[in-house]
Amino acid sequence: MKCIYLTALAIAGALVSSGATAAPNAFDVAEDHTRFVFQPAPVDEDGMPAHGNPFITQGYVYPVGTLKPGVDGVNEDGSPAFPDLVLGTWTCDGFLVGTAMKAETGVFLISRQTVLLNDGDLLISEGPEIIDENVELLRAISGATGGFVGHDGDISQTFLGWGSFMGLRATFDLEGHGKEQ
C-alpha cells in the first residue's frame, strides 16, 4: 500500500513539474455553421431538419465570457473569430426531437457533445438541449480525460442564442451551476 501511495505522489509531482494544468471549469462554445450537417429527410417545409433527423456539427471552445451578447465567435466563412483564444474544438451529434428547429421553448434535440482541448483533455456529455435562451440545463458527463478527470456527474449548458449565421452559442459550467463567473 505504501508503494502505491508513493507512486501516486511521484506521478502527481511529475504532472506539476511538467506544467500540466487543470482544464477550465467553465467555457464558451461557438458553433461553426458551415459544419452543421443533417440527413436529407425528415425535414420540414422550410428544409430544416425535423423530428428524428440525425445531425453532426462542430465549433470552437473559448474562455468563458468570450461570447458576450452580439458576439458570434465564428466568421461567415466558418473560421474562428478569435483564433488566439481557441482552447479546442466542440463536436456535437444527435437527433432533433419534437418540433425540432421550429421549437420556441423546451427540448429541441438530444445530443452527445465532445470537447477536445488543444492539450488533449477530453470531456463528453450527453442529454437534452433546450431552445430557451439564458436558461441553464444540466447534462450528464459520460467521459473525461486529462484535466477534466474528477468531474463526474453533470455539466450545465446555457444556450446564449443563435449567431448571425445560425450557429449555436452556449456557455458550459462544471461547477458554478448558476453562479457568477
Q: Is residue 152 part of a domain?
A: yes
For 74-111, the pLDDT digits (tens) are: 999 999 999 999 999 999 999 999 999 999 999 999 99
pLDDT higher than 80, residue 18? no
CATH number at residue 128: 2.40.480.10
Q: Is residue 14 part of a domain?
A: no
pTM to 2 decimal places: 0.85
Q: Is residue 124 part of a domain?
A: yes
For 27-86, the pLDDT digits (tens) are: 999 999 999 999 999 999 999 999 999 999 999 999 999 999 989 999 999 999 999 999
Q: Where are the alpha helices (DSSP H) in the chain?
A: 2-17
Q: Is residue 29 part of a domain?
A: yes
Q: Is residue 15 part of a domain?
A: no
Q: Is residue 75 part of a domain?
A: yes
In which domain, by residue range, is 75 found? 22-173
Q: Is residue 138 part of a domain?
A: yes
Collapse the DSSP code of 9 into the 3-class scheme (helix H, G, I; strand E, B; otherwise coil) and give the result.
Answer: helix
Contact 60, 103 (CB under 8 A): no
- How far, in Å, CA of 54 to CA of 45, rounded? 17
**What is the mean predicted confidence (pLDDT) over 160-179?**
87
Q: Which residue has the cell 471549469?
A: 25
For 115-152, the pLDDT digits (tens) are: 999 999 999 999 999 999 999 999 999 999 999 998 87
Contact 127, 140 (CB under 8 A): yes
Total of domains in the chain: 1
- Band (pLDDT 50/70/90 cuts) for residue 22 is confident
Question: In Å, how far are 24, 66, 121 from 87, measured between CA atoms?
Answer: 9, 11, 10
Q: Is residue 10 part of a domain?
A: no
